[in-house]
Every structure is written in structure tokens, then in C-alpha cells.
Amino acid sequence: MNKKILQTLQEITPLNQNAILAAQKYQSSLAMPPGSMGELLEIGAKLSGITGKLHNSLPKKRIVVLAADNGIVAEGVSSAPQSVTVSQAINMTKSLTGMSALAKHFGNEVQVVDVGIKYSYDCPQILNKNIRKGTNSFLNGPAMSREEAENAVLVGIELAKSAKSSGISVLGVGEMGIGNTTTSTAVLSVLTGLDAGEITGRGGCITDEMLLHKKEVIKKGIELNKPQKNDVIDVLSKVGGLDLAAMCGVFLGAAAEKLPVVIDGYISVVAALCAARICPNSARYFFSSHCSEEIGYKIAINELSLAPYLNLRMRLGEGSGCPLAFEIMDAACVIMNDMATFEQAKINDDYLSEIRNAPPMETIC
């Protein structure tokens, strides 16, 4: 593996367990029944484990969108033309897409990065890190070379490092690339050993006939290229995409920089799984957002031992779940920073002693 990637992996450390325990102890002093703020408490403690601080805030948020074209579109697996990739990448810089409209509303930064857009464009607001003009169809051999896949991962790592140096407090990871549900499913099938026919979804609304064809294309691509399950870079280079590889790099880079990083939907969660397979410790820095409607999403999120915070039947991609997750994470910080303790509220909490010392209750909802 590339030396710079290996160096990044060495910088990824476990979360600060002392800080997590301190946060949990403090949460038990808050004026409420034990654990009654649920997932918000877990998020607050996790943020403490990342930053090493009891009280945290997330004032500067950024969604990084990795844009690239996927050669597998030539095999008829998508209902949208490949030109949509560049059109929507440009629209993101104008706050005209679903994700970017939400980001603008909530005051989040959006950084659109070209790692492999096929068509030419004139948009200075897109950061040009183009590695090649789209990948190959993986029915004709590997989607790209191993070096190109590693270079895409490195782009993602550098984007995370740049975010940290510019004062970003939390990152979200999105994408724009027609055909990337096909590449994501191929990668997920290899990493999990699950049959592609059972985990392939409709992506951007394809017909039943196209869905059957999409399943066959993925199966044939895997059979042809024989990607090695235990070598994530090999999998990405043979049946993945430049967007997926760069997103994987953002997840790894964020973990190395001790930046909390939010998973969006299906493509994003597969990229996060790639990062976790390369470096298991990196997954400790990941936060979920919403439950994607794609079949493979649940498989990948379970592989990461995470659960989505929201189920809004969303399946847009782009990073559209990230602005919503940011608000939930802000709420977790509010609980830690602004909620009164029993002492501050002048409430005697002795009545909770028996409850606190009792074994954990089963979840009933």
C-alpha cells in the first residue's frame, strides 16, 4: 500500500476512553431519569472520546462531495445519462440540489471535488483533483489501476487534513456520480461475500428489466476481475469508482485528524465500510445520519455496528443526510453544555440510587 496511506493509518488511534467515562459520569448527574435522552447521550460521549473534552461544540460544518463518472454506465445500469454528474456537481456549488439547499439553510459549507468527472466544465467553485476522466467499465477489465485508486484515497485524506487545518469541527461525506450504486454494490458484495443478486437495489429508479440486468452486470464484473476480499484497494480498483475511493480516504483522513465524520446514505456507507476494513479503529470516528432505502445500506451499516439516527425514506445521496445529522449532533452538544445537573436544579437525586445501581433494563421501544 502507498506509504502516505500507511502513514495516515498509523495516525488513527482509539477513542479516549477516560474522556468517554468522564462524559458518562457527568451525564448521570444531569437532571433527568438515567439515560432518558437516549442516543443524544451516546453521541455526546462519543464526541468527548474524539476530542478528549467534556464539553464540545460543532460551530463549523462541511460536507465534502466527491464527484466522478463511472464507466459501468455504458452497460445500461442507470436511468440517468452520465452528463448528469457534471450538471449536478455544478448545481451543488449554487445550492440548487437537495443536499446543497439543506446545507445552505443550516449554514453548512459544501465543498465539491472533481476526482474523475468525464466531461469538461467551467466552474471554478469545483475543486479540481481529477485523476482521470471517468473509470472503465469493469466488464472490460479493472475499473482503474491500483495506483489510481490509491491516488483517489490520498485525495480524500488530504481533503480531511485541509478541513482540520481550516477549523472545520465536523465533516459529512457525500458524492455525485451516475452509476455509483452499481459500483458500491459490487464492492459491498466482495467485502461481505454476499451474492450481488440479493443486495442490488434500484438506485436512481430503474425498471424491473434494468434491475435484472444490473444484477447480472455486477456478477459478471466480479467474476471477470476476481477482486481480493481482504485487499480493499484491489476491490476499489477493480469494481469500484474514483468517488468511492476518495470518500474512503476522507473517512480515513478524518479519523487520523480526530474529526467526527458523518456517513450519508448507501454510497457513503460503503465507502465508510471500505475505510473500516482498511483500519478498524477509523470506524470509531463515524456517525450515522439516515437510513437509505437501498437494500445494501442496512448490510453495510450493520457491518459497522452503527444504526441510523433517522428513517425518512430518503435515497437521494449527495450527502443529503449530513445536514440533518449535524443538527442532531448539535442537540447532543446542547445536552452536555446547557442542561442543568441535579445540583444546579436544586433537586435531591437520592431517589435514583436504587435505579442507578440496578442492572440495565431491556429496551422496550
| 150 contacts 231 by C-beta, under 8 angstroms | no
CA distance linking residue 235 with residue 189, whole number of Å: 10
**Helix, strand counts (H, E) of the chain:** 16, 6
Separation between Cα atoms, residue 51 and residue 47, nearest integer Å: 6
DSSP conformation class of 81: -
The residues that bridge with 263 in the sheet, in sequence order, are: 173
Cell numbers 471517468 correspond to 134
Contact 168, 58 (CB under 8 A): no
The β-bridge partners of 64 are 111, 173
Q: Can you name the residues that pair with 286 across neighbouring β-strands?
A: 261
Residues in the chain: 365
Read off the C-alpha cell for 196: 450481488
How far is C-alpha 46 from the chain's CA centre? 17
CB within 8 Å of 348: residues ≥ 6 apart:
342
Q: Is 318 a catalytic residue?
A: yes
Task: Give the full edge-to-edge strand order of the sheet including 127-128.
Answer: 127-128, 109-116, 61-68, 170-176, 261-263, 286-287
- Concatenate the DSSP letters of all residues of 175-210 into one string: EE-TTHHHHHHHHHHHHH---HHHH---SS---HHH
Q: Which amino acid is at 240?
A: G
Rounded to an integer, what distance in angstroms lies between the CA atom of residue 318 and that of residue 89? 9
CB 264 within 8 Å of CB 174: yes
Q: Which of 318, 327, 354, 362 is catalytic?
A: 318
Burial of 166 (0-12, 13-18, 19+ CB in 10 A): exposed
Residues involved in catalysis: 318
